[in-house]
A and B are shown apart, each in its own frame.
Chain A
């Protein structure tokens, strides 16, 4: 997780935005709370940001704000956009999610339309399947974990870990930023940042 960080002061200079703007965007949830990294420096506490992410985000906001309001923009960046629904046929015909992944979606959660959140879960599981990291049974476990636990994080940025020990697969969710150490013979097969999946998925469906 060693990303290059940029201090708030440098960020403002680099992008030409003001404190007022930055705080307003934070208020509107255009910049996620988890990007505000506090570190102590010789002048006291200072706030840093992951450089690449914040620059890309500010760029997007600046481009979009000509056309849409800040509140609408919050919806675009929100980890859980409402009002986006697709039918199973649409998902497959538009190649958003593979048929194999859709097949493991538990029958009791099946609806006529699939919500964005469920699409997100399918998307994550599909990634594991497509890369060959998980087999169908393991993917079912991951799906069940996402269905039961993701909502507990309440939109906080989180990461899915898929690990193996002696060939047996485990998965769990963890809030980012956070550090996790494993015992020696555990192999981390995949780490998937859910929020970056959200953005990928949004691009795919739009």
Chain B
């Protein structure tokens, strides 16, 4: 294949462009893109709606962006504002410090949330680190799940090797999240899920029907239906566990 020369696309002010292949795409102001976009770097400072699939090496959203299609970022994808992806997202390193909405699945090596994320499908990563709030409609599957609770967190199921859920400390993030999630009941700083399955599990302020693992530690503020463990089990007296079983 011949080597293609990629140009930059810059929209300053208000404008629109067709999709295509570009080197750097920079949108300052309000810019819509109609069609699939393939670029090396995508930056949105302002507002943008992209009507097509996006493939990029890196992406940074500081403002508001709507992706009407799937998004793939080979290196990283960062959201500092609001971002809606009406498809699935695959990013090696995904970082959300604002608010993100994903209509299908989210996949990555490292997904870090410092704001709020809402994923309708499954969330798959090697490391899932949350210091904010999340809602995951399907399975959260990660080697390491590290959750600091600063807002309501929800997932249908959680599975992985190391699963750690702690109550967040300090108010810095709490304020940020409260500002983002005004409509939700904010006193419920809790993780709720149906099942949690992993090897090493530590939980605080978690409501779950079933927790299964090798080593399970239930810290304070939990409400668990049944704990099934292989090796060890510890429970704080400030927690409720209806039943615990040692399994082979």
Binding site for B on A (CB under 8 A): 8-9, 13, 18-24, 26-27, 43-45
| Chain B min CB distance to A19 (Å) | 4
A26 to B107 Cα, complex, angstroms:
13
Select A19's contact among B124, B142, B197, beta carbons within 8 Å. Answer: B197
A30 to B161 Cα, complex, angstroms:
17
Indicate whether A20 sits within 8 Å of B247 (C-beta atoms), given known contacts A9-B212, A27-B124.
no
Select B141's contact among A21, A27, A43, beta carbons within 8 Å. Answer: A27
A13 to B126 Cα, complex, angstroms:
25
- Knowing that A19-B198, A23-B161, A43-B210 are A-B contacts, what are 7 other residue pairs whose CB atoms are under 8 Å apart, sorted by A's residue number? A9-B212, A19-B160, A20-B143, A20-B162, A23-B198, A27-B124, A44-B225
- A18 pairs with B214, CB closer than 8 A: yes
Select B247's contact among A13, A43, A45, beta carbons within 8 Å. Answer: A13
Select A20's contact among B160, B226, B248, beta carbons within 8 Å. Answer: B160
Binding site for A on B (CB under 8 A): 124, 126, 141-143, 159-162, 194-195, 197-199, 209-210, 212-214, 225-226, 228, 247-248
Can you list 27 contacts pairing A with B, beta carbon distance less than 8 Å?
A9-B212, A9-B228, A9-B247, A13-B248, A19-B159, A19-B161, A19-B197, A19-B199, A19-B212, A20-B160, A20-B162, A20-B199, A21-B161, A23-B143, A23-B159, A23-B197, A23-B198, A27-B124, A27-B126, A27-B141, A27-B142, A27-B143, A43-B226, A44-B195, A44-B209, A44-B225, A45-B194
A13 to B247 Cα, complex, angstroms:
9
Indicate whether A26 sits within 8 Å of B141 (C-beta atoms), given known contacts A9-B212, A18-B199.
yes
- Chain B residues with Cβ below 8 Å from A44 are 194-195, 209-210, 225
Residue of A nearest to B156 (CB): A45
A27 to B126 Cα, complex, angstroms:
9
Indicate whether A23 sits within 8 Å of B226 (C-beta atoms), given known contacts A13-B247, A43-B210.
no
A45 to B194 Cα, complex, angstroms:
8
- A20 pairs with B161, CB closer than 8 A: yes
A120 to B124 Cα, complex, angstroms:
30
Select B213's contact among A13, A19, A21, beta carbons within 8 Å. Answer: A19
- Chain B residues with Cβ below 8 Å from A26 are 141, 159
Residue of A nearest to B213 (CB): A19
